[in-house]
Amino acid sequence: MGLENIFLGFQIAITPFNLFVAVVGIMLGTIIGVLPGLGGANGVAILLPLTFTMPPTSAIILLTSLYWGALFGGAITSVLFNIPGEPWSVATTFDGYPLARQGQGGQALTAAFTSSFVGALFSTVLITFFAPLLAEIALKFGPPEFFAIQLLTFSSFVGLGGGDPLKSLVSIVLGFILAAVGLDIVTGQLRMTFGFVDLMKGFDFIVAVIGLFGIGEILLSVEEGLSFKGTRTGMNLRVVLDTWKILPRYWRTFVRGSFIGFWMGFKPGGATPASFMSYAFAKRFSKHPERFGKGELEGVVAPETAAHAAGVAAILPMITLGIPGSPTAAVMLGGLIIWGLQPGPLLFQEKPDFVWGLIASMYTGNIIGVLMVLAFVPFFAAILRIPFAILTPLIVVVCAVGSYAVHNSMIDIWYMLIFGVVGYVFKKLDYPLAPFVLALVLGDLAENALRQSLIMSQGSLAIFVTRPIAGAITAVALFFFVLPVLTPWWRRLRGTPAQAPSAGKT
Amino acid sequence: MRAADLATASLLILLGGVVVFDSVRIGIGWGTDGPKSGFFPFWLGVLMIATCGAILLQAWRRAAQKPFVTRERLAPVLTVLWPATAMVVLIQPAGLYVASALYIGFYMRWGGRHGWTAVVLCAVGIPLVTFLAFEKWFLVPMPKGPLETWLGY
């Protein structure tokens, strides 16, 4: 294992076509990350239909590059416009925007991009070594273990998500219910269609992602009356080189952020808490904590490193276990299935060229990405100067096109619109959207794992406890599920006041 | 905010009820070769009703705070929503490209008060680029109407 595999990967990732695909992906991704209403998840969803005819490896390189681009793009809006494009960019605005206001936007952006790159690279290196090991272990997993992992995935949203645990649970259940609509592939029976032909196909999560995150986000941003008052970038080669001279000083923050990011990131919804946690740690260990929030470069380095390390780490469970760590990874997982690949540990044995091409492209993609965003920041920032009355219909049209292209069906455009309104209402009422999307994607897989487990055990739920690996995972999952009940109780016991709910919710 | 919370939870309970009802219809027990089709959705429906019931209680006990959305705030949301809905309605008879051209043009003129030159340029240009990208390069067909038929597509 190891070296010759990654070497094989690089041979695939460095072909001219795949490099071209990566450049296109990063370009589009950064634009998508900068635009309000479009982010990694729905950007990938909209482009997914265009990849149906491409070779799978090039297709995944396009989509992952788009994802890296969107991650970079989020930093641009956070620093220059004080608008976090993604939830995990929120912490970047704390010090990024003050820096930009002081005329040091170029410095802040260079720091943000470089930190993103370092965080991403760190996670990629870890994935290179850990992914084959994890896949090896996962090969021994049966249906009970997979169901237990699903349980763990969703329990971490309820227990660690930071929002209202009841509402997280509702989002998960709603996703599973919508996933069950249509034909039951095991028995061939129609479920919850009530005689409507259109419901037979069920709900496609790609359409849901486009509606929830695309249309819903647009509705939210017009309600908040967003106006883009940007500051100048002030970006040139001198600034970049000067900032690079300062950055090694923060090596501790880089290391800390990378570890926090990777550790939080391969669990679902980890990028946002990781960025906040990294920021808090940097502030606590800093010699000048009072400078944080007023334009401290370290306050940009910390959250960006962690957010990108987490964003990349979300790919790890997707390729090894077939369970995505974030909505964007969920959409990519959907892509794998459409391209005819079976996500999960077998991928390493059956499609090594795909897996290692993907991993190698994570190196090349991030290197290309950081160079491109550094070079083209003024161009990307100019996108936000497009009047809102042009951007809004443009994004709606792009969303409609993307929804239709999934199945060539008109009803999907209507679903997109409905999901948009649902996304708007849910966001306002604090129902988290990420677990909903993940449940919609994983619905069939989870149900099949549960059914097969029950068949193995003749209908006894004890199978999830008696098998050692499944039992351990189930125990952790159950602990997360009851965590929201335990925490207030524990605090009362120790007599500490209840904490304010954390700002991060994904 | 409270009213919206109560309404959403009630709606979801209703949905849970529908799910439970349909699952019972197709069978929630043990079939010849494992759990029947209704088994998984049934328990999801039950969980949904229970959780939303708890949310209802939670929302009921909490004092009404800020409103879900004020009238002034809702207006811009609706100005985005109804033209978008109109466009989706129009796609069926007119095709996606014509519908989006009309939509972009209308929104820019009415919502953004842009000059006619900019309106026409964007309203024609954006759908044209979309057309070239999807129909020509990526060969992903979009819904088309009489205009495209007349042009020979």
**Residue-wise pLDDT tens digits, A444-495:** 888 888 888 888 888 788 888 888 888 888 888 888 888 888 877 877 777 6
Spatial separation of the C-alpha atoms in residues A327 and A315, rounded to whole Å: 11
**Phi and psi (nearest 5°) for B82?**
-75, -40
Spatial separation of the C-alpha atoms in residues B103 and B109, rounded to whole Å: 10
Whether residues A387 and B84 touch (CB distance < 8 A) is answered with no
pLDDT at A499 over 60: no
Considering only CB atoms, B108 lies closest to which of A164, A389, A450, namely: A389
DSSP secondary structure, A206-233, as one string: HHHHIIIIIIHHHHHHHHTT----PPP-
Check residues A329 and B72 and name the one with the higher pLDDT. A329
Query: Using CA atoms in the order A222, A223, A225, A228, what is the torsion angle rounded to 10 degrees?
Result: -40
Per-residue pLDDT, A498: 47
Confidence class of residue A162 from pLDDT cuts 50, 70 and 90?
low
Per-residue pLDDT, A22: 92
Percent of all residues in chain A with a pLDDT value above 90, rounded to a whole number:
10
From residue A14, alpha-carbon distances to A37, A287, A355, A365 in Å are: 32, 43, 14, 10
Confidence class of residue A226 from pLDDT cuts 50, 70 and 90?
low
Check residues B52 and A334 and name the one with the higher pLDDT. B52
Only one residue has tokens 């449940």, namely A439
pLDDT at A1 over 70: no
Percent of all residues in chain A with a pLDDT value above 70, rounded to a whole number:
93
From residue B150, alpha-carbon distances to B88, B132, B147 in Å are: 22, 17, 5
Confidence class of residue A438 from pLDDT cuts 50, 70 and 90?
confident
pLDDT at A496 over 60: no
Taking a C-beta distance cutoff of 8 angstroms, is the pair A329, A311 a contact?
A: no
Interface of B with A in 35-64 (CB under 8 A): 35-41, 44-45, 47-48, 51-52, 54-55, 58
Strand bridging mode B30-31 / B34-35: antiparallel
DSSP secondary structure, B33-46, as one string: TEE-TTHHHHHHHH
Spatial separation of the C-alpha atoms in residues B107 and A252, rounded to whole Å: 50
Å between A107 CA and nearest CA of chain B: 35
For residue A72, the tally of other CB atoms under 10 A from its CB is 30
Mean local confidence (pLDDT), A124-138: 86
pLDDT at A170 over 90: yes
Per-residue pLDDT, A501: 42
According to DSSP, residue A290 is labeled G
CA-wise closest residue to B84 among A387, A221, A421, A424:
A421
**Residue-wise pLDDT tens digits, A25-82:** 999 998 888 876 677 788 888 888 888 888 888 999 999 999 889 888 888 888 887 7
The domain limits of chain B are 2-61, 72-151
Spatial separation of the C-alpha atoms in residues B87 and A392, rounded to whole Å: 13
**Residue-wise pLDDT tens digits, A12-34:** 888 889 899 999 999 999 888 88
Per-residue pLDDT, A40: 76
DSSP strand E in A179-310: where? 182-183, 190-191
Considering only CB atoms, A177 lies closest to which of B30, B48, B79, namely: B48
The domain limits of chain A are 3-491
Interface of A with B in 73-132 (CB under 8 A): none
Average pLDDT over all residues of chain A = 83
Whether residues B51 and A169 touch (CB distance < 8 A) is answered with yes
Whether residues B19 and A177 touch (CB distance < 8 A) is answered with yes
Residues in chain A closer than 8 A to B68 (CB atoms) = 428-429
Spatial separation of the C-alpha atoms in residues B54 and B59, rounded to whole Å: 9
Whether residues A424 and B77 touch (CB distance < 8 A) is answered with yes
Conformational region of residue B34, where left means phi above 0, alpha means psi within -120 to 50, and beta covers everything else:
left
Check residues B64 and A379 and name the one with the higher pLDDT. A379
pLDDT at A400 over 80: yes
Per-residue pLDDT, A494: 73
Mean local confidence (pLDDT), A406-410: 84
Mean local confidence (pLDDT), B16-38: 84
pLDDT at A186 over 80: no
Considering only CB atoms, A454 lies closest to which of B18, B35, B140, namely: B35
B85: helix, coil or strand? helix
CA-wise closest residue to A76 among A115, A114, A105, A42:
A105
Per-residue tokens: B60: 């009921």
Å between A215 CA and nearest CA of chain B: 9
pTM summary value: 0.83
Spatial separation of the C-alpha atoms in residues A135 and A145, rounded to whole Å: 13
In this prediction the ipTM stands at 0.91
**Residue-wise pLDDT tens digits, A427-437:** 888 888 888 88
Spatial separation of the C-alpha atoms in residues A106 and A103, rounded to whole Å: 8
Per-residue pLDDT, A176: 92
CA-wise closest residue to A81 among A33, A114, A11, A24:
A33
Q: Does B69 touch chain A (CB under 8 A)?
A: yes
Per-residue pLDDT, B11: 93
Spatial separation of the C-alpha atoms in residues B131 and B123, rounded to whole Å: 13
Establish how many alpha carbons lie within 13 A of residue A158's alpha carbon, considering only the half-sphere containing its beta carbon.
26
In chain A, whose CA is at the least distance from the CA of B29?
A459
Per-residue pLDDT, B85: 92
pLDDT at A503 over 70: no
Q: Does A451 touch chain B (CB under 8 A)?
A: yes
**Phi and psi (nearest 5°) for A394?**
-60, -45
Confidence class of residue A175 from pLDDT cuts 50, 70 and 90?
very high
Which residues neighbour A179 within 8 Å (Cβ) at sequence distance 6 or greater? A202, A203, A205, A439, A440, A441, A442, A443, A444, A447
